[in-house]
């Protein structure tokens, strides 16, 4: 089948490239001309291991080309962002404009799949958008929802090997979508309906958020109780049915800190744990900032001068260069905002507009307070001069 992928971002581009690498003809569509031009040169505008080589190859072999306006195809995939609007309300404007953009090109027998993380009921809404404009297609096209579940940093592998939940608007649509994903997915393809598939994605990320919130809450309790939380979790996890996650600077990235709100905003009365988890994980970041500010205050009392604070790590999680919704970046920025002298160390990025960037060695030498915010492997077991104050919020230095 020929394929149109609408949205060439963190999910759309790797997916389009993987499908093209299986020998299918893929047209990638994006509203940004610079993104389209970059891809047509065989280059990429996002950072993801192994993606550049893959895109370069499929563009050169003419299996993938990018454009700003959709063309007719057998299968349409929509992978555009669903941000917030107002008070944590999901904004499905991009999904709707993508649907409207492909509308004129749809033909009988085609398949439309939404992959964007979406509030429950979005696929049905888009079905209505299509049939209001093109009533003659009613009963003659297939539609399904199939969320992606790939982990940033391991996208290419997971796109191919993860299981998928696939929910059509009817059984025939589900079957057709399964037939399509078989072309490039090696993982199991699980049948469901559109609503359940939509909720499934939201629940996966909410589940992780709740589990991380538990670990973060424990870390604050243990701090007060004078107990090493990492030793505690390690011991508790020796129980055969306990598996506590790791506390940290907070929860960042584009998914886990966002998706739970899609449930909370629609089911506010029922979503008590989900909302509390979001609040705890956000609070953990503020707690970290307070801890560092207090340490800086104490340093000033003891030494009669302001402390230099080295922030070790800015990314939203270990071993990536992604700064989106990063709690570590937020901590560093808040400290600057409160008038502290901050030295930033991030081995995964070249430089940053707002910070004085240093190497790991210089960060450790120049700072008075060394704050570990992200457990990058470069920081593991690092030696720190004994006259420094060390604050490790991610258990990276032992």
The footprint of ligand SAJ (CB under 6 A) covers 149-152, 204-205, 208, 212, 245-246, 248, 251-253, 255-256, 316-317
Q: Specify the length of the chain in residues.
A: 398
Nearest-angstrom CA–CA distance, 184 and 314: 35
The distance of closest approach from Cβ of residue 258 to ligand SAJ in the complex, given in angstroms and rounded to an integer, is: 8
| Nearer residue to ligand SAJ within complex by CB, 70 or 119 | 119
Let me know: does 347 contact 378? Beta carbons within 8 Å. yes
Let me know: does 318 contact 374? Beta carbons within 8 Å. yes
The distance of closest approach from Cβ of residue 385 to ligand SAJ in the complex, given in angstroms and rounded to an integer, is: 27
Which residue spans within 266-368 are E strands per DSSP?
308-312, 341-345, 356-357
Determine the number of helices (DSSP H) and then strands (DSSP E) in the chain.
13, 15
Let me know: does 28 contact 65? Beta carbons within 8 Å. yes
Which is the catalytic residue, given 255, 284, 308, 394?
255
Verify whether residue 110 is a known catalytic residue: no
The distance of closest approach from Cβ of residue 84 to ligand SAJ in the complex, given in angstroms and rounded to an integer, is: 15
Strand-pair partners of 391: 371
The distance of closest approach from Cβ of residue 51 to ligand SAJ in the complex, given in angstroms and rounded to an integer, is: 15
Closest C-alpha among 377, 367, 381, 375 to residue 393: 375
Which single residue brings its beta carbon nearest to ligand SAJ?
255
| Nearer residue to ligand SAJ within complex by CB, 190 or 208 | 208
The distance of closest approach from Cβ of residue 285 to ligand SAJ in the complex, given in angstroms and rounded to an integer, is: 10
| Nearer residue to ligand SAJ within complex by CB, 124 or 204 | 204
Verify whether residue 388 is a known catalytic residue: no
Nearest-angstrom CA–CA distance, 16 and 25: 10
Nearest-angstrom CA–CA distance, 230 and 226: 12
Nearest-angstrom CA–CA distance, 327 and 346: 14
| Nearer residue to ligand SAJ within complex by CB, 65 or 149 | 149
- Helix (H) or strand (E) holding 167, with range, is strand 164-168
- Helix (H) or strand (E) holding 29, with range, is strand 26-29
Which is the catalytic residue, given 110, 146, 200, 201?
201
Phi, psi of 258 (to 5 degrees): -115, -55
The distance of closest approach from Cβ of residue 150 to ligand SAJ in the complex, given in angstroms and rounded to an integer, is: 5
Pairing of strands 89-90, 84-85: antiparallel
| Nearer residue to ligand SAJ within complex by CB, 48 or 368 | 48
Nearest-angstrom CA–CA distance, 55 and 215: 39
| Nearer residue to ligand SAJ within complex by CB, 11 or 59 | 11
Active site residues: 201, 255
């Amino acid at each position: 089948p020929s394929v149109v992928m609408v949205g060439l971002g963190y999910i759309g581009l790797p997916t389009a490239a993987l499908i093209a690498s299986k020998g299918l003809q893929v047209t990638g569509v994006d509203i940004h001309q610079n993104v389209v031009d970059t891809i047509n040169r065989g280059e990429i505008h996002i950072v993801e291991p192994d993606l550049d080589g893959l895109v370069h190859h499929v563009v050169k072999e003419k299996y993938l080309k990018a454009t700003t306006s959709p063309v007719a195809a057998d299968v349409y995939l929509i992978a555009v962002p669903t941000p917030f609007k107002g008070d944590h309300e999901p904004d499905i404007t991009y999904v709707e404009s993508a649907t409207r953009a492909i509308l004129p090109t749809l033909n009988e027998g085609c398949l439309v799949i939404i992959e964007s993380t979406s509030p429950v009921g979005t696929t049905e809404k888009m079905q209505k958008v299509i049939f209001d404009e093109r009533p003659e297609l009613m009963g003659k096209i297939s539609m399904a929802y199939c969320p992606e579940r790939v982990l940033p940093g391991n996208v290419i592998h997971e796109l191919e090997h993860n299981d998928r939940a696939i929910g059509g608007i009817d059984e025939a649509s589900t079957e057709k979508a399964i037939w399509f994903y078989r072309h490039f997915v090696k993982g199991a393809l699980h049948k469901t309906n559109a609503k359940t598939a939509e909720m499934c994605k939201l629940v996966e990320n909410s589940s992780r958020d709740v589990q991380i919130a538990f670990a973060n809450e424990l870390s604050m309790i243990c701090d007060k109780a004078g107990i090493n939380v990492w030793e505690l979790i390690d011991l508790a996890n020796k129980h055969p049915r306990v598996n506590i996650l790791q506390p940290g600077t907070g929860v960042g990235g584009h998914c886990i800190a966002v998706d739970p709100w899609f449930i909370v905003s629609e089911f506010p009365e029922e979503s008590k744990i989900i909302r509390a988890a979001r609040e705890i994980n956000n609070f953990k970041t503020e707690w970290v900032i307070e801890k560092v500010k207090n340490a800086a205050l104490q340093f000033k009392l003891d030494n009669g001068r302001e402390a230099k604070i080295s922030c070790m790590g800015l990314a939203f999680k270990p071993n990536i260069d992604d700064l989106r919704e990063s709690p570590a970046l937020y901590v560093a920025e808040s400290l600057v905002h409160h008038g502290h002298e901050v030295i930033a160390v991030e081995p995964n990025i070249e430089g940053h507009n707002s910070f004085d960037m240093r190497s790991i060695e210089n960060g450790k030498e120049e700072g008075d307070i060394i704050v570990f915010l992200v457990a990058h492997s470069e920081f593991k077991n690092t030696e720190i001069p004994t006259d420094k104050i060390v604050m490790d919020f991610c258990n990276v230095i032992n």
